[in-house]
Amino acid sequence: MNRRNFIRQTAAGTAWLTLGSAGVELLSENEVHLTILHTNDVHSYVDPFPANHPKFAGRGGVARRAQLIADIRTENPNTLLFDAGDIFQGTPYFNFYGGELEFKLMSLMRYDLATLGNHDFDNGIDGLVAQLPHANFDFVSANYDFSNTILEGKVAPYKILKKAGLRIGVFGLGINLLGLVDKKLYKETKYLDPIEITEETVRILRQKRCDLIVCLSHLGFEYTTDPNRISDRKLAAATDGIDLIIGGHTHTFLEKPVVAENRNGQKVVINQTGCYGVNLGRIDFYFSRNGKKVLDGRSIQI
């Protein structure tokens, strides 16, 4: 299969985009349909919320998420599943099992990649490494330098996944741990500037002929009271080349993805599903030989 050109939407371009619709018809039989599913800030919530919960009554739970993911994979085998961090911390499951259960359940659901959130260091870098054998999926983080730590070589800056002849480049970004996590927990881990790292990483992924570039971000969606703080919106505006940012950290509930502009005026899709596993993000890309794309995105309640 020839490499598809991924053309971003412009005022005069041929590409077009829809978000939040009930469904999008294929443009032609030669089109490739890629589905990206994602979660963030699940925080060790394994069971559904009780029926009398004031906000999320009866929602969530790993069993329902697993069934929904399986149904979508049956609908479209070209499906990828990502997590944007803070897998750990929030229920007694983490306090008792230290992350083993969360990783085992994610492995059963066949997650493809995840990035690290600040709470994933809550048992220390040693505790995180101890649980990695239970994760049958990889972690990506481009702006955490794990040199001189036991995580060195265990977390890649990016991965290139292949689906239906497409090359999907995925990299991770984490929030500055200083002030959020005790230094003794993350030890010699160094935080690198997300914008500089993104520019370098995207350049590499474009050179490697990726058709789609995805950022798994635990930077936070937006900080209205601190506009200079790096966030997904600021990252999109300051860089060039990212197609999709899957976010976490701020527990932002988006019913459908936000379409932002990068520094060259091209479109960047940003999505975040809130927290605690009560939503599953779904984004559908359609690639065709003439370079058009259709994009449909939404958050599905669980």
CA distances for 37 relative to 72, 122, 146, 297, angstroms = 9, 26, 28, 10
Q: Give me the phi and psi of 20, to 5 degrees please.
A: 80, 10
Please state the separation of Cα 229 from the chain's center in Å: 20
Domain 36-280 fold is Purple Acid Phosphatase; chain A, domain 2 (3.60.21)
Residues in Cβ contact with 165 at an 8 Å cutoff, skipping those fewer than 6 apart:
1, 2, 3, 4, 32
Structure-token pair, residue 185: 């927990």
DSSP string spanning 28-39? -TT-EEEEEEEE
CA distances for 21 relative to 14, 17, 288, 295, angstroms = 20, 10, 20, 9
Q: Which pLDDT tens digits describe the chain residue by residue (302 residues)?
A: 333 333 233 222 234 455 654 444 444 567 899 999 999 999 999 999 999 999 999 999 999 999 999 999 999 999 999 999 999 999 999 999 999 999 999 999 999 999 999 999 999 999 999 999 999 999 999 999 999 999 999 999 999 999 988 999 999 999 999 999 999 999 999 999 999 999 999 999 999 999 999 999 999 999 999 878 999 999 999 999 999 999 999 999 999 999 999 999 999 999 999 999 999 999 999 988 665 576 789 999 99
Q: Is 113 helix (H, G, I), strand (E, B) or coil?
A: strand
- Give the pLDDT of residue 227: 78
- Give the pLDDT of residue 295: 77
Looking only at the bridges linking them, the beta strands covering 267-271 and 244-246 are parallel
Of the candidates 152, 90, 153, which has an alpha carbon nearest to the alpha carbon of residue 117?
90
- Cα angle 190-95-62, degrees, rounded to a multiple of 5: 95
Distance, in Å, from the CA atom of 131 to the CA atom of 154, rounded to the nearest integer, reads: 12
Q: Is 54 helix (H, G, I), strand (E, B) or coil?
A: coil
